[in-house]
Amino acid sequence: MYQYDHYDQTLVDQRVAQFRGQVRRYLAGELSDDEFRPLRLMNGLYLQTHAYMLRIAVPYGVLASRQLRMLAHIARTYDRGYGHFTTRQNIQFNWPELERVPDILADLASVQMHAIQTSGNCIRNVTSDPLAGVADDELEDPRPWCEIIRQWSTLHPEFSFLPRKFKIAVSASKQDRAAVQVHDIGLYLVRGADGEVGFRVLVGGGLGRTPMIGQTIREFLPKQHLLSYLEAILRVYNQEGRRDNLYKSRIKILVKALGAAEFGRRVEVEWAQIRDSALQLEPAEIERIRAFFAAPAYAADAAADASFDAHLAADAAFATWVRRNVAGHRVAGYRNVFVSLKPFGRPPGDISAGQMEALADLADRYAGGKVHSTFTQNLLLTDVRQADVYPLWQALAALDLATPTIGTLADIIACPGLDYCSLANAESISVAKSLHARFDELDYLYDLGDLRLNISGCMNSCAHQHVGAIGILGVDKSGEQWYQITLGGSSGNVASLGDVIGPSVRHEDVADTIARVLEVYLEQREPDEPFLDTYRRIGMAPFKARVYGVPAKGRAGKEAAAHV
Amino acid sequence: MSEIIKHRQIVADEWRSVADDETVGTGPVIVSLARFLAEREALLARGEALGVRVPPDVRLDALAGDLPRLALIAVEFPVFKDGRGFSVARLLRERYGFHGEIRAVGDVLRDQLFFMERSGFDAFAVRPGKSLQDALAAFDEFSVTYQAAADDPRPLFRRRG
Ligand code: SF4
């Protein structure tokens, strides 16, 4: 993984000192609340319902074991013993005291971490494929490009006061696991006509109140021009994006207003002026960054191991877990192992200090000392020898990190919702718990197959409910918590936004409603057809009829129908 | 006479900012872009230093031909979080080759100054009521930068050693 040199380290250290000064000035009354607010946000510090929340950057989801240990230390020393992984591969702490945040940042800086630009109207943490570098369907490792973008975007002099937050994602694999099409800028590494690798550039994707799928403005960008092209996009957005209305200030609104073709034309005009500037990446720099991500030396005899298959045959629980939680590796004899942060009945994405430390040890022992965060709020250990998968599973199971439900309905993405977030309309975590309680039979979950279910507590859509095959959105109805349900969303290669099934339902009726939706799927699916495909084939009508048409059990249908 | 920060020092402001309905008089003055465009010939004929105050959504092409005869461009920051002015300054320096003073006016606070200076500003009319002495510290907060900008055309990857 990338290692700081003295430039990177100096910058992060100086950022800590700067923020310490900002906190001091605020506490001394030299900065008003309004003046301090954007400053703390640019460093990931939110004010939530009960306390501050600090969001720490995990650049493109890569964590070294010593960094994970530091996060455990922070959870224990400054927080309440746990942290929460987000859909943007970052980690949040929910209970830090403002006075101690500078110390947290100093601790982070000691392990090459920071909270820079994890919030605020600036370029946020670049996200990528959690399987980057080990996926068998990948053109090349996208992480060097993420790191190049990270450096370019860090404290950018021109783009630190944008109309609104700005998110970039990079994917290099056939299967998009980075939700590229719902980012402000999405980058796909692709092969051009001449065989060279470059980028397909999308703009204007995003969720929130006005969800949109990104549109391609350039089919092929030679890789050396990445930064000048990003700079051109950002300059057009910085100058022309709306600033009069919070809800209309994302780049997607500008792209929609101008049309993608006109937006792209303006970018090209700007780009023509800076394309051949010093921003052009030199092969030596690309290689310098790439070297940090070089693959480890894989053992040639890893595939010769017979124990893995023997355990699979002998231990049904292990085999079950492998089927759901273990992914293939591009090198024979190796596996990639998902670490579930979705135990039944617990808040999705939460992890305790003890679990972090134990996992750091396991990463050192079995996975090259690295842990990866995923946008589904799980973790991933890569480069695990197949002979080590069984003992790793036993250790993970003992830590309650081996719930065998990755990719199933129970692998719920949920935002913190009303329990923590001051913007929330409704709870998310308790809805996830109610679904966990209702759908807790593994055989049923496996029969349903791959099924992405996402729950957000408000229209800000932090849990990406628009792109859940089933999406659940908290809405406020005269002080009561109601939930709007959508079907058919996907952030994959064929990205789509979910359709609203009908009137929203009460908290206590969410699980029943989802159960009816699932009944329709199980009745109507063709062999091996995933939920999403069935929905795309048969449409909304049968689901709608089942949920609202039959007043089964009375309440769900009737009362919901009253709230059109 | 009020004080501003110029070239990282607190100095007396030699410029007078005149409203559109005010007589221009003598000495260095800053006029609005609208007034400049309306009274261009007369203002330039004064033979005294002239500055133009531009809004953050200015299209610099309208001003390009006149830039060599202007000594100062003041870029307005209506609110702290409005970042359009950063692009204006970079374009003035890097694309239009403007060598005069670029001054940040309006909601200008200490914590923008580092970004502003990198973008090409060299003068800062810090919002009244804030300590200029305190604001000066902003310039020394970082000794390292990643990007190419008005202060250095080379990104760090061309300077790293
Ligand atoms: S979706 Fe809404 S409730 Fe949930 S974390 Fe985001 S802002 Fe808060």
Record the tokens describing residue A344, joined without a space. Answer: 């039944």
Q: Taking 50 as the threshold, does the pLDDT of residue A50 lie above it?
A: yes
Q: Do A279 and B115 touch (CB under 8 A)?
A: no
- Give the mean model confidence (pLDDT) for residues A191-196: 93
Looking at the predicted structure, is the pLDDT value of residue A553 above 90?
A: no
Q: What is the CATH number of the domain that holds B67?
A: 3.20.20.70
The answer, yes or no, to whether any atom of ligand 1 lies below 6 A from the CB of A461, is yes
A473-530 pLDDT, tens digit per residue, is: 999 998 899 999 999 999 999 999 999 999 999 999 999 999 999 999 999 999 999 9
Choose from B144, B152, B156 for mutation: most chain A CBs within 10 A. Answer: B144
pLDDT given at position A136: 86
Whole-angstrom distance, CA of residue B104 vs CA of residue B90:
13
| d(CA A53, nearest CA chain B) in Å | 22
pLDDT band, very low/low/confident/very high, at A62 (cuts 50, 70, 90): very high
Residue A157 pLDDT > 50: yes
pLDDT higher than 90, residue A564: no
Structural domains of chain A, with CATH: 6-109 (3.90.480.20), 142-291 (3.30.413.10), 302-398 (3.90.480.20), 413-561 (3.30.413.10)
Number of CB pairs, chain A paired with chain B, less than 8 A apart = 102
Other Cβ atoms less than 10 A from the Cβ of B66: the count is 15
pLDDT at A550: 57
Q: Token pair for residue B146?
A: 């990643």
B residues 11-40 closer than 8 Å to A (CB):
none
Name the one residue in this structure whose structure tokens are 């273990």: A326
Nearest to A203 by CA among A174, A234, A160: A234
pLDDT in tens, A326-362: 999 999 999 999 999 999 999 999 999 999 999 999 9
Q: Whose CA is nearest to atom 5 of ligand 1?
A: A415
Q: Say whether B156 and A17 touch across the interface (CB within 8 A).
A: no
Examine the pLDDT at A561 and tell me if it is beyond 90: no
0.90 surpassed by pTM: yes
> Ligand 1 pocket, A421 CB below 6 A?
yes
User: Do A247 and A233 contact (CB within 8 A), yes or no?
Assistant: no
Among residues A336, A295, A250, which one has the least CA distance to residue A141? A295
Whole-number Å distance between alpha carbons of A267 and A303: 49
CB contact under 8 A, A278 and B148: yes
User: What distance in angstroms lies between residue A457's CA and the mean position of ligand 1's atoms?
Assistant: 5
Please check whether residue B2 touches A, CB under 8 A. no
ipTM: 0.97
Mutate to test the pocket of ligand 1, among A462, A475, A476, A483 (most ligand atoms within 8 A of CB): A462
Distance of alpha carbon A175 from alpha carbon A295, whole angstroms: 21
pLDDT value, residue A478: 85
Low-confidence ranges of chain B (pLDDT < 70): 1
Provide the CB-side half-sphere exposure for A345 (13 A, CA).
Answer: 3
Q: Is A459 helix (H, G, I), strand (E, B) or coil?
A: coil
Q: Report whether residue A423 contacts ligand 1, using a CB cutoff of 6 Å.
A: yes
Closest CA to A377 of A350, A343, A357, A396: A350
Its domain, for residue B113, covers 3-159
Ramachandran quadrant class, A92 (left: phi over 0; alpha: psi -120 to 50; beta: rest): beta
- The total of structural domains in chain B comes to 1
The partner residue sitting opposite A7, judged by closest CB among B57, B82, B156, is B156
User: Mutation test of the interface with chain A: which of B59, B61, B147, choosing the one with the most A Cβ atoms within 10 A?
Assistant: B147
Residue type, A62: V
- Number of Cβ within 10 Å of residue A315's Cβ equals 15
Q: How many residues does chain A have?
A: 564
* Closest approach atom of ligand 1 to CA A417: 3
Residues B88, A167 contacting (CB under 8 angstroms): no
| Cβ-contact A538, A476 below 8 angstroms | no
The per-residue pLDDT for B1 is 66
Answer with the residue of higher pLDDT: A246 or A409. A409
